[in-house]
Amino acid sequence: MLPGVGVFGTGSTARVLVPLLKAEGFEVHALWGRSEEEAGSLAKELAIPFHTSRSDDVLLHQEVDLVCIYIPPSMTRQIAVKAMGIGKNVVCEKAATAVDAFKMVTAARYYPQLLSIMGNTLRFLPAFVAMRQLLVEGYVGEVQVCDVRVYGPSLLDRSYGWTCEELMGGGGLHTVGSAVIDLLSHLTGARARRVHGLLRTFVQQNGAIRGIRRVTSDDFCFFQMLMGGAGPVSGTSSGVCCTVTLNFNMPGSFVHEVMVVGSTGRLVARGTELFGQRNGSNGEEQLLVDSGWAGPGAQEMPLPHLRGLSSMVKALRQSFQAHDERRSWARAPVATAPTFEDGLYVQTVVEAVKRSSCSGEWECVEIMSQEPDPNQNLCEALQRNKN
Amino acid sequence: MLPGVGVFGTGSTARVLVPLLKAEGFEVHALWGRSEEEAGSLAKELAIPFHTSRSDDVLLHQEVDLVCIYIPPSMTRQIAVKAMGIGKNVVCEKAATAVDAFKMVTAARYYPQLLSIMGNTLRFLPAFVAMRQLLVEGYVGEVQVCDVRVYGPSLLDRSYGWTCEELMGGGGLHTVGSAVIDLLSHLTGARARRVHGLLRTFVQQNGAIRGIRRVTSDDFCFFQMLMGGAGPVSGTSSGVCCTVTLNFNMPGSFVHEVMVVGSTGRLVARGTELFGQRNGSNGEEQLLVDSGWAGPGAQEMPLPHLRGLSSMVKALRQSFQAHDERRSWARAPVATAPTFEDGLYVQTVVEAVKRSSCSGEWECVEIMSQEPDPNQNLCEALQRNKN
């Protein structure tokens, strides 16, 4: 039996997600927005019976068993952790910091019976499902290099907001790069050990953002990851070099290309389609055709993310459908979804890339295993005073 | 009046170059090869009247006024410097080290009346001639990012040789990357101040290279250059980020893509064709069509290099045609050709990228201004003994 859904957020993802949920048979009972007006307006547009600007009203809503959180990164941790505390299943977007991500992991470990997945939808995109399968089957041999490029128009909102602020989780690296980082570890079965990166904000002001305000989030980001350790995908033991180029100063275009080069061949996902070439063959073969997108949302988000979101909602339906009880779910259909642990890894890599961009050096990726003591500075100061 | 030509080398470039020279009206009088057999065989094939394995026989040949040197990098400096000393005009490929490149610069400065250009032919490719013109005219606005990708099959020779040896000038960075480095400084009018890079040799052995021999030259190379200083192209004052990815583990494909992204638009050369898009327009426009290559050599080298080489030979013809005397030449037709000074810059960047790949750090590009003393170690040892 499908659970009732409560949605947090009034942005483009929420706007696309609600029709997708409804199409799969989910009932969306409640919508949260930062203001009553925003929530009311979108609730009316999407025919959601209840809207509010108080988060508890959604979290405590009787009919809501699954909470989908698509709000600014800095607010995500608070809602996600609270939702789990109340016993709700959670699908959510990335947090703003590794500390936030760690707190979400702690909550997810504490409530293992609850569904808790990161809403990075690229893993669900059929092209990447097929790519991963082919990698496991050895299509490219030993994986050597992954090369990812995402080019598109500015990610900034029309008005000044979190998307302009690096510390609020804005910028190409945090917004788009994190999905790529997650995807690459999913595809290769390995995790980044060391990263090197360069971030730039080429457009620091525009018509809407001016005066003393400046954009601090990156619109160009370029990073490398050295992946290590043998993973589930055979032959990644000797290490894979990943290079990722993100450029959001290219209005009027959208390029989303993920290439994996190995010892005996290569695979390339261009947008939502998959191509491959084995060494020795004369040309590329198309391995997955995309017949186009007929549903809504094509104006709101790039096709790979849209189609991935749609596939994730389908997987959620299968997961919940398997059980009679509204809050119970089966693990298999969402087994490949990113967990909160994956979210912590991604956030850790993002922060290492940012550190590298400042230091100019390769930075190690060290996953937090213990929450940093918020009073550490205070303790150290006291300690110093004592001596 | 066109000068008589002597060609050094029996590799694929020499094989393509001779017919191109003849097609423009140059007479090729002499060919040098490392062995009499190699030289004799190619001389017969290309109908060159004289061949030898002794370099002086070409350099001192009465009919030879222009020497084209396309031989392994480690031998280039010696021949090029000697040729200028004898008073011959020189077109040559890159040297093996910055010290060699510096010695060539010294010779070129000493004989300013002689033509001395580096045979990097990408600058002459019509797509890049047009791209540079459009950059100067402000098509992309302020240049922000250059992104270059060259993918292709292995660069190794069939048998073990200099292409396998990093120290002999083998590898993707030295062979192909150097042409890209030169091109980017030509296009942006700026030079790299700092570089960061990563080199890998994924294929260390193959059917022909085995036993105790290993390939040490890179088959994957990935580097970034931070370009600085205002150049002839307007708006490069705030610095340009260049990223270059070279991958020669992709048999059966050839990708040669150079993209320049600026504040108001972008230009992309794919192979020998040029595309552009201004911000605000709906799609790419094709700015230069390539109608295909009818001449010989398409089996021997990638089309961008082949067409560039052909354009360079045309420019040489125009340069020499302007004068009646066989050794005199006009500067204008070859004004955009890379000089030996450019060759030293390129070699310096190549070595900085290699250093960066070892150190993991950003490395500064510092052009040699004085030849390192070959006896420095000896002097230091003597000094130590005295104390």
Confidence of residue B376 (pLDDT cuts 50, 70, 90): low
Q: What percent of chain A has pLDDT over 70?
A: 94
Confidence of residue A45 (pLDDT cuts 50, 70, 90): very high
Residue of B198, B281, B282 with shortest CB distance to A241:
B198
Three-state secondary structure of chain B: CCCEEEEECCCHHHHHHHHHHHHCCCEEEEEECCCHHHHHHHHHHHCCCEEECCHHHHHCCCCCCEEEECCCHHHHHHHHHHHHHCCCEEEECCCCCHHHHHHHHHHHHHCCCCCEEECCHHHHCHHHHHHHHHHHCCCCCCEEEEEEEEECCCCCCCCCCHHHCHHHCCCHHHHHHHHHHHHHHHHHCCEEEEEEEEEECCCCCCCCCCCCCCCCCCCEEEEEEEEECCCCCCCCCCCEEEEEEEECCCCCCCEEEEEEEECCEEEEEECCEEEEEECCCCCCEEEECCCCCCCCCCCCCCHHHHHHHHHHHHHHHHHHHCCCCCCCCCCHHHCCCCEHHHHHHHHHHHHHHHHHHHHCECEECCCCCCCCCCCHHHHHHHHHHHC
From the CA atom positions of chain B, what is the Rg in Å?
Answer: 21
Q: Which chain B residues touch A224 with a CB distance below 8 Å?
A: 198, 222
Per-residue pLDDT tens for A117-143? 998 789 999 999 999 999 999 999 999
Q: Which of B143, B266, B270, B359 to mutate to test the interface with A (most CBs of A within 10 A)?
A: B266
The H or E element spanning position A236 is none
Per-residue pLDDT tens for B141-150? 999 999 999 9
Per-residue pLDDT tens for B42-52? 999 999 999 99
A253 vs B360, which has greater pLDDT?
A: B360
The answer to whether residue A380 scores a pLDDT higher than 70 is: no
Residue B88 backbone dihedrals phi, psi, to 5 degrees: -100, 150
Q: Which chain B residues touch A144 with a CB distance below 8 Å?
A: 200, 202, 220, 249
Query: Max alpha carbon distance in chain B (Å)?
Result: 75
C-alpha to C-alpha distances, B370 to A95, B80, B346, nearest whole angstrom: 54, 19, 17
CA dist., res. B105 & res. B103, Å (int): 5
pLDDT value of position B232: 44
* pLDDT (average), residues B116-141: 94
The answer to whether residue A379 scores a pLDDT higher than 70 is: no
Tell me which residue has tokens 């994924």: B202
The H or E element spanning position A245 is strand A240-247
pLDDT value of position A376: 67
Determine the distance in angstroms separating the CA of A125 from the nearest CA of chain B, rounded to an integer.
26
Residue of A198, A250, A263 with shortest CB distance to B224:
A198
pLDDT value of position A302: 87
* pLDDT (average), residues B220-229: 89
Residue A97: CB atoms within 10 Å:
17
Lowest-confidence region among A50-54, A194-198, A302-306, B361-365:
A302-306
pLDDT value of position B328: 87
Q: Do B283 and A249 touch (CB under 8 A)?
A: no
Strands A143-151 and A240-247: parallel
From the CA atom positions of chain A, what is the Rg in Å?
Answer: 21
Confidence of residue A351 (pLDDT cuts 50, 70, 90): very high
Q: Which chain B residues touch A222 with a CB distance below 8 Å?
A: 224, 241, 243
Q: Do A249 and B263 touch (CB under 8 A)?
A: yes
Confidence of residue B35 (pLDDT cuts 50, 70, 90): very high
Tell me which residue has tokens 């292995």: B154
Q: Do A200 and B266 touch (CB under 8 A)?
A: no
CA dist., res. B151 & res. B252, Å (int): 10
Per-residue pLDDT tens for A335-348? 999 999 999 999 99
Query: What end-to-end distance do the CA atoms of chain B give, in Å?
Result: 64
pLDDT value of position A199: 92
Q: What is the mean pLDDT of chain A?
A: 90
Query: What end-to-end distance do the CA atoms of chain A give, in Å?
Result: 64
What string of DSSP letters covers A16-38?
A: HHHHHHHHTT-EEEEEE-SSHHH
Residue A194: CB atoms within 10 Å:
18
Q: Which of A204, A249, A284, A361 to mutate to test the interface with B (most CBs of B within 10 A)?
A: A249
Question: Are the C-beta atoms of residues B218 and B200 closer than 8 Å to each other?
Answer: yes
pLDDT value of position A59: 96
Under 8 Å CB-to-CB from B113, ≥6 apart: which residues?
none
Residue of B220, B241, B253 with shortest CB distance to A198:
B241
pLDDT value of position A229: 56
Helix, strand, or coil here: A143? strand
The answer to whether residue A10 scores a pLDDT higher than 70 is: yes
Of the candidates B16, B346, B360, which has an alpha carbon nearest to the alpha carbon of residue B173? B346
Question: Are the C-beta atoms of residues A9 and A69 closer than 8 Å to each other?
Answer: yes
Interface of A with B (CB under 8 A): 144-145, 147, 149, 196, 198, 200, 202-203, 220, 222, 224, 241, 243, 245, 247, 249-253, 261, 263, 266, 277, 279-284, 360-362
Question: Are the C-beta atoms of residues B198 and B357 closer than 8 Å to each other?
Answer: yes
pLDDT value of position A269: 97
Under 8 Å CB-to-CB from A137, ≥6 apart: which residues?
none
Under 8 Å CB-to-CB from A48, ≥6 apart: which residues?
A7, A18, A28, A29, A30, A31, A42
Per-residue pLDDT tens for B255-296? 999 999 999 999 999 999 999 999 988 889 999 998 878 777
Lowest-confidence region among A193-207, A365-379, B69-83:
A365-379
CA dist., res. B236 & res. B189, Å (int): 8
Residue A308: CB atoms within 10 Å:
26
pLDDT value of position B381: 64
The answer to whether residue B384 scores a pLDDT higher than 70 is: no
The answer to whether residue A104 scores a pLDDT higher than 80 is: yes
Could you tell me how many residues make up chain A?
Answer: 387
CA dist., res. A143 & res. A135, Å (int): 8
Q: Which chain B residues touch A145 with a CB distance below 8 Å?
A: 202, 220, 247, 249
Task: Please give the model's pTM, rounded to 2 decimal places.
Answer: 0.89
Q: Do A144 and B200 touch (CB under 8 A)?
A: yes
CA B122 to chain centre: 8
Under 8 Å CB-to-CB from B325, ≥6 apart: which residues?
B1
Q: Do A222 and B200 touch (CB under 8 A)?
A: no
The answer to whether residue A249 scores a pLDDT higher than 60 is: yes
B376 vs B325, which has greater pLDDT?
A: B325
CA dist., res. B276 & res. B287, Å (int): 7
Determine the distance in angstroms separating the CA of B60 from the nearest CA of chain A, rounded to an integer.
47
Residue A44 backbone dihedrals phi, psi, to 5 degrees: -65, -45
CA dist., res. A258 & res. A216, Å (int): 27
pLDDT value of position A234: 45
Per-residue pLDDT tens for B239-250? 899 999 999 988
The answer to whether residue A66 scores a pLDDT higher than 50 is: yes
The answer to whether residue A60 scores a pLDDT higher than 60 is: yes
Residue of B145, B283, B284 with shortest CB distance to A220:
B145
The answer to whether residue A176 scores a pLDDT higher than 60 is: yes
pLDDT value of position B205: 79
Question: Are the C-beta atoms of residues A63 and A88 closer than 8 Å to each other?
Answer: no
* Encoded tokens for B254: 């050839």
Could you tell me how many residues make up chain B?
Answer: 387
The answer to whether residue B186 scores a pLDDT higher than 90 is: yes
Q: Do A144 and B360 touch (CB under 8 A)?
A: no
The H or E element spanning position A336 is none
* pLDDT (average), residues A148-156: 89
